[in-house]
Structure 1
């Protein structure tokens, strides 16, 4: 018998032991703990590890371990833990059911006891249609003061947050613009009953409500609202407008301040800017956005009032012009009734024409357009310009003094009148107040360049900055730092810019023609204003216009003013958004534009094509066409999933007939990507208690998840599509040679149309050959399912290759998918003993058949991309490390072999993306699966190495056998009973596929990997239908050279809370 004291002593002195009784903490499975910070345990913990101990003198018996290195004792402990967890879960469900039953009875009793007066205190108001005008005195909650204690008030607001403190107490936070106040609702007999409490705690945040209540002082200051010393005790609560649909994030989430480590473009927030900008209406409701645009309004008013006081006249110029103002390269061209025109780059021409018309001093606040394809954080294609122009008497610095004083008046006015707004913005955009001097430093351009040279600064080319060229952004920022060090100011002027950096109408410097009478004003090291003296001499102006390629006759109206006499004048312009962006250090200029326009605005919309199955039209469903009215969800006859796939699907969706999939369907099929995705995620969380870990999706879905929901993404997979009309396969000498060989060997191909039933004898022959193919596979196999050639025959076409003896030696199956995607090469297989060239012959034959059907695209499914590329919210060192790891995996497993064959068939990659929610693949998200991983290692003898590559790189290499993995009956029964692990998947994971839709971005179904025992959909607006039973094509490297499969573009990993499963349903590259 082993000596337990000796074993105990060894454990006490060897805390890093990795023996069979060692338990890891939160670290990776199979990885030793850090020797410098071992896991410390109490004696009681060690004694509880097991009832028996192994002497350090004994050698471990290798029979006590499975092939994955998990001991039998560990297997038993893990199985026991799983049973206990299942029992706790069952008790929790029973307790919840009992609680729900008690709550239901309580509400039924309350409904019987509720009076009409109590019922009138809450509920939905009818749609406001201006039928009456009462005398209700509604207040602005920002005007609430301490003197109003005990006053009954009424106000309209948004419901910001609901916090249920029990059956008889609910806290509500109400929001009005920048102000929030806490509401308290207490169950009171005869006034506020249980039904009102229940109704209030289930209100959707973001709804617009009408509140009536009494103001009282709270016992403790309310930190969760902007009004700390007052709360409203609610007596009536009515809903004016209910939020109808789910939102990607709440205003409360958007206003949460994150840690410094979560800063993005200077913003301390968990919600990425791209997600905010893609859901702009919600983001504009936040106090930060409200403050930004209140300050923007103040800037416009101060600009206007300051110039009005100095004798300026406001003008409004046309934005359509017959010629470019500055240069033809950065203008938007417009078809003006068959004639060319341009959107104004600035009101420059109109301002100068107004000066020529003796207005003397003019300004304008209006739209400016710049066709610069720049996607930086500081560029917009449309913004609001603040421009002025004035006649000068002796020197253009007269105009410089005017704009300098105007800007200082704006800065002073903001910090004086908008102090609260500035402080609100600083919570998410930390910054110091702008510093400026009473006398603004005016630094000649040449002196600024000399400052850079003296500091040892080099430009992006590694050379000293030239005094005859404009400064780059980096150069400007460095100058700002040097000026701040020397003068102690964030605000200064650079004067006398080189001629090469200024437009044609700028007056040259009389002392040095290489320079001009022009200036830039800088804030925090970046330029906000460009100004100059204009050329008022007509011959000089015409010469300059010709030098830059502008014909003066194209601007005849503009030139008339100079030819008829224009006084000396100068002017400048500044972007309103740019002032906000730099003054408040917003990090991204798009946040200073209410609805920004940049080069990525107005993405192209897909072309609508005729649907092959009109009865499965999601835009005009059958029940609407037949009855002409809306039909209740339970009465709707939903179109078949197979028809929907043929109308809208891609290669992934043809797998949905597999028995492992459950199909979740949005009841309202008039749907779009965003709506269906958000609804599905909500259903997933509420009804199945699962959490998405990662998903493999197409570009359109990635845009929704990345930009609107803040998911991160990378691309390492590509859907491989070929245009069958180009016949590029036969042009490849090697492919052409093999096709000839197969033809010479007497290979004949039989076509079976989708309208014809496949003969039973043919099915038997083909299925027998599939068994031969499966038995003949060798080497490492990475697969998820089995082949089912004849599932959903009505949407498939078959091409069967037979040799001279009539033996089936190859097959190609085309599956019908969305019209714009054409067909999928569902299977392209050559069987053992097939003559050389069989696979090439049957594949090219299928492609030609697709061409005759009018298809312009055929997809082979997914393949591994040669390199991983970042998508949304991925960059930096982590991305580089991930890229290096991926490159090594591609090389080690020769993942490009399928793609190489498909390239010979003429296939080109269509990038797909792996995406995951915030924290979905983080350390905490993955470590939550440690128990599951141990169970998987104990219950599965062969696990796909590659499927875990992007989620956890800690599992040791496992040599896999070539035969198909089937679960043992005991394991299968245990998984079904526990309701936690889906059966017969080699990676032992619960999986789901994402919605794929077609033009115009519509969706109606989502396939979910069936987690045995999970709930059916209980949400009133949704239905969950079982998919038809069937098998799925293996995601493996087959014996044939092609290996087309049906898992190509979508898959979601799910995690059951608080522990769960890593998803590994993916594309053919796995």
Structure 2
């Protein structure tokens, strides 16, 4: 029993750092390589046959696609069964060839960089001042006086302006290198592009100017002056096809300061990949919190036929770049046009635009779907809709009102059609009859359709290239279908829900049923646009007016496009007594709605209205497949991830990276000299300021530490077989993570010339590597964190407490050495001797990140040394101080040969209780499941998950985690990230070899 407990409380997920000298089986039980494809077995038990293959080797073969030694497989060729498959050999050869070419390309780049420098020097000597003035980073100042005359690409007519000299400012969309004397540059302004031709011209345009232009980064902003000329043949790669600019002057205004995760030109070429589309527009599969809709897939792919994959997550994470694409530009022109047409039509029909408060004292609909907040000590809510205020305006005799404004819904629906914040188009109006409102709303929507059809053909055609769809079909007389009749259509068609039930006339339709009904209506009535009328009372809000002839239904409706609802509306109850009776019947509290009810007590006319979701209308009209593409900066249940800010001030302010000491005015005044001011912050202090458990490994000799010259940020890595094995997050302020990562990867690529594999990183860093840089990422390990050691459940666990009582009975005494105390030399020598006894007692191969060196950085460590009744050192626990956010790392928990049963449990609990005011982590350990975070296909994820689950169960990988849970630990996932196609079978072997080193 003791041998398992010792393995479970290890601090670095490593048997090399957590001892039990009395049994040789402990190091081989349930150990894994942290945050890497797990090594299920590092050594043989004495009870196992020697011909069983090493499980680390087995798992590396599973991940790399090789067969296992000793595993039978049918083969048509002669040879050893251990010989790898030809396909695996060919794959390894292709990877090696690719790596060889990458090295050659780096050498070529170095030679090119040197040649460019030499070219710059030669140009400065031979070019005339007039030639030098034609290009560079500063256009003539006098051009600013005529900037209002600069050209817009979309106004350039194909033939009328040929021969004119134009000046325009645009982004570089793409560069086509034709020869050493000629380059084509495609310039872009929003959705318009034009080709610019820069050719060497004797005495005017120099060869160096052409070469300089070729080197300009894509997405740079440039000012170009040149003459419009007719191309030799129509230009198919630009929107302006019958004219091009012959460049005479070219100036750089701004350029990207970091590598782009993708460029607009590539993104504009991608096609919609329908088989990965997770939208709910054509399928009702999947469920949201209400059993509706299609689940959101963050790895939903949009890709070119050839080239890198651009997933939805990458596009939305890098939203600014994605919004530059002509397709996105066109989408938001349609978005704006809808608002303009909505406003214009209603203004013509004597509606008044209003702006209602978004802070409310009560919920207008369902209290479970509102965002609550503290309003100066009083409860308040973000408005689900302007419904109540619209009705109050009608009671105030505004007669007809509309609003375009934000709407908030606290619904945890991760589907392609739901947002938590969207733009609402709302209407409310006095009526004589219920159908007066339907007539006005129907006319308003059709006016929008006409405006989009007549005035935005170019934008619609551009969007169709990437989101193919047919134009909206609708009759002159809109189909108005009673809800009950729509249900009957479904039932008659044989439709049933996924659970086998049949739709009912007194229940709302799920998304899957709505989509099927839309298909049936299109077949029968040939329309994409229709109205479902007379919804049942049970599915409408409290203020909906019941039908006088049939109280089971209401005077309410939904409007649909392509089988999905875009608008909900109806007549409201205007009689105060009727309204209060219904609120009472539905148990709706009038608290917070006194203003609303007061309007009806003062007398309100009959009225009706509706609410339309702008983003959903855009999505369905253009068939975008996902409402997020129609939202500028979307908000859904996964938005606004928790920012784990430092809980306290830095432990060492003088070792801050933001700002670094040499940029801090107060510290600069205290510096004795320039050399002291520029000294990098000590690594030990950076760990105490910003570090997590994995960062403590960097103190070992096997790790190199790269430093960012501008901030002093640190990244620890270990070169191993051509790879950079990077462990943990960069040590720096959270706001500097992206900057530090970008600079470090440039160093790894250009100077160290290593292939990066980044392991045991937090979700914040994974968001940068996976979401921004489009790396692949997965997780099979987690930090085991204890948020509040004072509430340690182990104090009430009978098994653990029994062991602790036994240790105390055996006379175990614990010596504490805090941060302010030095461990006496004689105690160090005695403990080192016991560590050597522990090392000698270990058997089998070890898997670890660090070896046992307890006396390094003693100023940030506390020690708990246990002695038995004879006074001999029998156990030791070492805590390493981390950032204020993470508290302490239980770095080592070792019991030495001959330690009484329960000793290690006693010392660990004592250490935790002694630091009850701070958070703790046991370090990383294997999780029960493998999670694919980004960049892995569904098939690969399913296969890897199945393989990992089988290994986890067979090898008891969760044993350690289960024991730590008894100590109050909870899992905090960490990730392994690598560039796409950057983890070959050799990479898997390198990871395992690195942890076995």
2:628 matched to which residue of 1? 590
Query: Which secondary structure state, in structure 1, belongs to the residue aligned with residue 689 of structure 2?
Result: helix
Q: Are 2:858 and 1:858 equivalent residues in the alignment?
A: no
Q: Which residue of 2 aligns with 1:518?
A: 556
Does the CA-based 8 Å contact 1:264-1:272 persist in structure 2? Answer: no
Q: Which runs of 5+ in 1 are unaligned?
A: 1-23, 40-55, 934-946, 949-984, 990-1034, 1037-1064, 1066-1070
Shift in Å, 1:136: 6.1
The whole-number CA distance in structure 1 between the counterparts of 2:670 and 2:237 is 46
Name the structure 2 match of 1:413.
451
Q: Distance in 1 between matches of 2:98 and 2:551?
A: 84
C-alpha RMSD of matched pairs (Å) = 4.0
Give the corresponding residue for 1:1005: none
Provide the residue aligned with 1:814 in structure 2: 879
Task: Kindly provide the CA deviation profile for residues 847-871 of structure 1, in whole angstroms up to 9, marking residues without a partner as x.
Answer: 23434xx4x2221111111223453
Residue range with higher mean Cα deviation, 667-676 or 336-345: 336-345
Residues 555-566 of structure 1: matches in 2 within 5 Å? Answer: 555-566=593-604
Does the alignment pair 1:651 with 2:693?
A: yes
2:386 is aligned to 347
d(CA) in 1 for partners of 2:933 and 2:320?
Answer: 24
Distance 1:712 1:448, change over 3 A: farther
| Structure-2 change in CA distance of 1:118 and 1:860 (3 Å) | same
Q: Deviations over 1:349-398 (max 9, x none)?
A: 343344444444333323333333333322223322222233333x3222
Partners of 1:324 and 1:87 lie apart in 2 by: 64
Partner of 2:679: 637
Counterpart among 544, 561, 575 of residue 613 in structure 2: 575
Q: Alpha carbons of 1:879 and 1:569: their partners in 2 closer, same or farther (altered >3 Å)?
A: same
Cα gap change, 1:169 to 1:387, in 2 (>3 Å): same
> Is 2:650 the counterpart of 1:611?
yes
- Alpha-carbon distance, 1:311 to partner: 3.5
**2-structure distance, mates of 1:651, 1:659:** 17
Task: Give me the TM-score of the superposition, normalised by structure 1.
Answer: 0.74
Query: Residue 331 of structure 1: which of 365, 370, 384 is its match?
Result: 370
Structure 2 matches for 1:79-118, cutoff 5 A? 101-118=114-131
CA distance in 2, matches of 1:822, 1:86: 42
Q: Do the aligned partners of 2:860 and 2:881 also contact (CA within 8 Å) in 1?
A: yes
Q: C-alpha separation between the residues in 2 aligned to 1:545 and 1:578?
A: 30
The 1:785–1:384 alpha-carbon spacing in structure 2 relative to 1, beyond 3 Å, is closer
- Distance in 2 between residues matched to 1:306 and 1:519, nearest whole Å: 21
Name the counterpart of 1:664: 706
Do residues 145 (structure 1) and 157 (structure 2) align? yes
**Are the structure 2 counterparts of residues 894 and 366 from structure 1 closer, same or farther at C-alpha, using a change threshold of 3 Å?**
closer
Q: How far 1:818 sits from its partner (Å)?
A: 0.8
Give 1:872 deviation, angstroms. Answer: 4.7
In the alignment, structure 1 residue 890 sits paired with structure 2 residue 929: no
Q: 1:87 Cα deviation (Å)?
A: 11
Cα offset, 1:143, TM superposition: 1.9
Which shows bigger deviation, 522-531 or 144-153?
Answer: 144-153
Given candidates 171, 177, 194, the residue that maps to 2:190 is 177
Q: Deviations over 1:904-941 (max 9, x none)?
A: 44433222233444x34xxxx55xx46x48xxxxxxxx
Whether contact under 8 Å (1:127, 1:240) holds in the other structure is no
CA contact (8 A) 1:153 1:213 kept: yes
Matched, 1:830 2:835: no
- The answer to whether the Cα contact below 8 Å between 2:661 and 2:677 also exists between their aligned partners in 1 is no
2:304 equivalent to 1:279: no
Q: CA deviation at 1:275?
A: 3.0
Given that 1:157 and 1:209 are in contact with CA atoms closer than 8 Å, whether structure 2 keeps it comes out as: yes
Pair 1:527-2:540 in alignment: no
Shift of 1:117: 1.8
Distance 1:107 1:732, change over 3 A: same
Secondary structure of the corresponding residue to residue 463 of structure 2: helix
Change (3 A) 1:141 1:652: same
Separation in structure 2 between the aligned mates of residue 285 and residue 555 of structure 1, nearest angstrom: 44
Q: CA deviation at 1:620?
A: 3.3
Q: Note closer, same or farther for the CA distance 1:121–1:608 as it changes in structure 2 (3 Å cut).
A: farther
Q: Name the stretch that deviates more: 769-778 or 882-891.
A: 769-778
State how far apart, in whole Å, the 1-side matches of 2:912 and 2:526 are: 72
In 2 relative to 1, CA 543–92 (structure 1 residues): closer, same or farther, beyond 3 Å? Answer: closer
2:975 corresponds to which of 913, 920, 942: 913
Is the partner of 1:782 in helix, strand or coil?
coil
- Cα deviation for residue 718 of structure 1 reads 1.7
**Structure 2 CA distance, aligned partners of 1:715 and 1:647?**
26
Distance in 1, Cα, partners of 2:935 & 2:247 = 43
CA distance in 1, matches of 2:99, 2:351: 78
> 1:739·1:841 contact (CA, 8 Å) conserved in 2?
yes
In the aligned structure 1, how far is the partner of 2:817 from the partner of 2:221? 60
Cα 1:30–1:348, aligned 2, differ >3 Å: closer, same or farther?
closer
In the superposition, relative to structure 1, how do residues 363 and 277 fare at CA in structure 2: closer, same or farther (>3 Å)? same
Is 2:478 the counterpart of 1:478? no
How many angstroms apart in 1 are the aligned matches of 2:674 and 2:440? 68
Partner Cα distance (1:811, 1:690) in 2: 38
Equivalent residue, structure 1, for 2:759 = 695
Distance 1:462-1:88 versus aligned 2 partners, 3 A rule: closer
Q: Name the CA distance, whole Å, in 2 between partners of 1:99 and 1:503.
A: 69
Query: Which of 225, 228, 232 is the aligned partner of 1:212?
Result: 225
1:234, 1:561 → 2: CA distance? 67
Q: SS where residue 885 of structure 2 aligns?
A: coil
**Residue of structure 2 in register with 1:254 after alignment:** 267
Indicate how the Cα distance of structure 1 residues 733 and 369 shifts in structure 2: closer, same or farther if over 3 A, else same: closer
Change (3 A) 1:313 1:860: closer
Q: Which residue of 2 aligns with 1:937?
A: none
Shift of 1:95: 7.1
Q: Determine the C-alpha separation between the residues in 1 that align with 2:656 and 2:372.
A: 39
Name the CA shift for 1:784/1:261 in 2 (closer, same or farther; >3 Å).
farther
Partners in 1 of 2:924 and 2:138 — Cα distance?
A: 52
Shift of 1:682: 3.9
Aligned to 2:246: 233
| Partners of 2:891 and 2:922 within 8 A in 1 | yes
Residues 42-121 of structure 1: pairs in structure 2 closer than 5 A: 101-121=114-134
Q: Which residue of 2 aligns with 1:681?
A: 745
Residues 30-49 of structure 1 mapped to structure 2, 5 A cutoff: 30=67
User: TM-score, with normalisation over the residues of structure 2?
Assistant: 0.79
- For structure 2, list consecutive stretches of 5 or more residues without a partner in the other structure: 1-60, 280-300, 304-308, 712-732
Q: Structure 2 CA distance, aligned partners of 1:190 and 1:34? A: 75
Once the 2 structures are TM-superposed, how far is the Cα of residue 212 of structure 1 from its aligned partner? Answer: 1.0
- The partner residue of 2:909 within 844, 855, 864 is 844
Give the secondary structure class of the aligned counterpart of 2:402: strand
Q: 1:819 to 1:553 in 2, by over 3 A?
A: closer
Specify the alignment match of 1:378 in structure 2: 417
Please name the residue that 2:574 is paired with: 536
SS at match of 2:447: helix
Question: Which SS does the other structure have where 1:254 is aligned?
Answer: helix
How far apart are residue 523 of structure 1 and its match? 0.7
Match of 2:791 among 707, 726, 744: 726
Would the alpha carbon gap of residues 629 and 198 (structure 1) be closer, same or farther in structure 2, given more than 3 Å must change?
farther
- Structure 2 distance, partners of 1:294, 1:678, is 34
**2:992 paired residue number:** 987
